[in-house]
Amino acid sequence: MFPSGIGKRIVVFGGGTGLSTLLRGLKRHPVDLTAVVTVADDGGSSGRLLDQYDIPPPGDIRNVLAALSDVEPLIEQMFQYRFQTAEGLKGHSLGNLMIAALTDITGDFASAVEKMSRVLNIKGRVLPAANQRITLHAELEDGTIVTGESKIPVYGRKIRRVYVSPQEVAPLAKTLEMIQAADLIVVGPGSLYTSILPTLLVRDIRDAVLSSRAKKVYISNLSTQAGETYRYTASEHVQALYDHTGQAFIDTVLLNGSDFSRQVKGKASWPVENDLEALQKLVPEIVVKDIAIVVGESVFHDAQKVADWLMEYIEKTG
Query: Which helix (DSSP H) or strand (DSSP E) does residue 215 occupy?
Result: strand 215-219
Q: Select from 135, 120, 314 the least CA-distant residue to 217.
A: 314
Q: Select from 23, 18, 22, 96 the least CA-distant residue to 59.
A: 96
Give the pLDDT confidence of 102-147 residue by residue, as tens digits. 999 999 999 999 999 999 999 999 999 999 988 999 999 999 999 9
3-state class (DSSP) for residue 256: strand
Per the CB < 8 A criterion, the answer to whether 124 and 10 are in contact is no
Alpha-carbon distance of 219 to 12, in angstroms, equals 10
Per the CB < 8 A criterion, the answer to whether 296 and 256 are in contact is no
Give the pLDDT confidence of 73-91 residue by residue, as tens digits. 898 899 999 888 766 777 7
Residue ranges covered by each domain of the chain: 9-317
Q: Select from 54, 58, 45, 38 the least CA-distant residue to 195.
A: 38
Q: Select from 95, 10, 101 the least CA-distant residue to 52.
A: 101
CATH topology of domain 9-317: Rossmann fold (3.40.50)
Using 50, 70 and 90 to split pLDDT, how confident is the model at 2?
Answer: very low
Alpha-carbon distance of 293 to 10, in angstroms, equals 24
- Beta strand pairing status for 184-187 and 159-165? unpaired
Per the CB < 8 A criterion, the answer to whether 64 and 155 are in contact is no
Across 294-316, average pLDDT: 93
Q: Considering the chain, what is the average pLDDT of its residues?
A: 90
- Beta strand pairing status for 252-256 and 32-37? unpaired
Using 50, 70 and 90 to split pLDDT, how confident is the model at 61?
Answer: very high
3-state class (DSSP) for residue 119: helix
Question: Considering just the CA atoms, what is the radius of gyration of the chain in Å?
Answer: 19
Q: Residue 267: what pLDDT?
A: 56
Per the CB < 8 A criterion, the answer to whether 285 and 6 are in contact is no
Per the CB < 8 A criterion, the answer to whether 194 and 18 are in contact is no
Q: Has residue 275 got a pLDDT over 50?
A: yes
Question: Among 4-13, 125-134, 235-244, 268-277, which range has the highest average pLDDT?
Answer: 235-244
